[in-house]
């Protein structure tokens, strides 16, 4: 497969990123974002809130402890408060709530926590999330996981998916 080079957008990376979030969330009533407490997932959440236009936004975080003993939930709550994002609903996924990640003919899944990411996907579906925005390789949300990285249109590895738990791989080549 030949690599796909994304088209340049006026305004640079920031404009391209904002446009991507806007495209992923277009036409859905409820937007979900997997948030780890890091800068990349926080940026996705902030941009999702900017394009929400009155739609419900839900942040999903897995209750984990970092190397310094800090709770990811506490970090995310502090960030939401600090950035005046109190309107965002926070859904906490317990590390014990692991779901089986479906087998893929493409080989092993490349996300770090497939069973927990499947739990996020299941909870998002229960809440009627129409789009769960992509974040990072460490805590990829289910919208990314249905498309092998680097094989989606535009080469981003991300794609919009309906609010149902994922099946891997996505049907046909992306």
Q: What is the pLDDT of residues 35-92, one digit of tens each?
A: 988 888 898 899 999 999 999 999 999 999 988 999 999 999 999 999 999 999 999 9
Q: How far apart are CA 131 and CA 126, in angstroms?
A: 13
Is pLDDT above 50 for 142? no
Top-tier CATH class for 12-155: alpha beta
pLDDT exceeds cutoff 80 at 167: no
Q: Is pLDDT above 80 for 141?
A: no
Contact status, residue 75 vs residue 41, Cβ threshold 8 Å = no
The answer to whether 152 touches 23, Cβ cutoff 8 Å, is no
**What DSSP element (H or E) covers 61?**
strand 56-62
Among 78-92, 105-119, 137-151, whose mean pLDDT is lowest? 137-151
Average pLDDT, the chain: 74
Q: Residue ranges of the domains in the chain?
A: 12-155
The answer to whether the pTM exceeds 0.75 is no
Residue with structure tokens 């996020």? Answer: 120
Q: Write down how long the chain is.
A: 174
Residue 9 has what pLDDT? 67
pLDDT for position 109: 66
- What confidence category does residue 133 fall into, taking pLDDT thresholds of 50, 70 and 90? low
Q: What does the pLDDT read at residue 151? A: 31
For CA atoms 96, 67, 36, 90, the dihedral sign is positive
Q: Compute the average pLDDT of residues 112-131.
A: 84
pLDDT (0 to 100) of residue 112: 73
């Amino acid at each position: 497969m030949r690599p796909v080079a994304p088209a340049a957008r006026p305004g640079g990376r920031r404009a391209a990123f904002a446009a991507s979030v806007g495209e992923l969330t277009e036409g859905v009533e409820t937007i979900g974002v997997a948030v780890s407490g890091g800068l990349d997932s926080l940026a996705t959440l902030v941009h999702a809130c900017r394009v929400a236009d009155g739609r419900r936004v839900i942040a999903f975080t897995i209750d984990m402890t970092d190397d310094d003993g800090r709770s990811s939930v506490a970090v995310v709550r502090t960030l939401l408060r600090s950035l005046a994002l109190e309107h965002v609903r926070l859904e906490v996924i317990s590390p014990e709530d692991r779901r089986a990640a479906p087998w893929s003919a493409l080989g092993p899944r490349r996300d770090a926590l497939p069973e927990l990411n499947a739990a996020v996907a299941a909870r998002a579906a229960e809440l009627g999330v129409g789009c769960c925005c992509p974040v990072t390789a460490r805590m990829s949300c289910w919208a990314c996981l249905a498309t092998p990285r680097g094989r989606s249109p535009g080469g981003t590895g991300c794609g919009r998916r309906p609010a149902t738990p994922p099946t891997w791989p996505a049907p046909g080549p992306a």
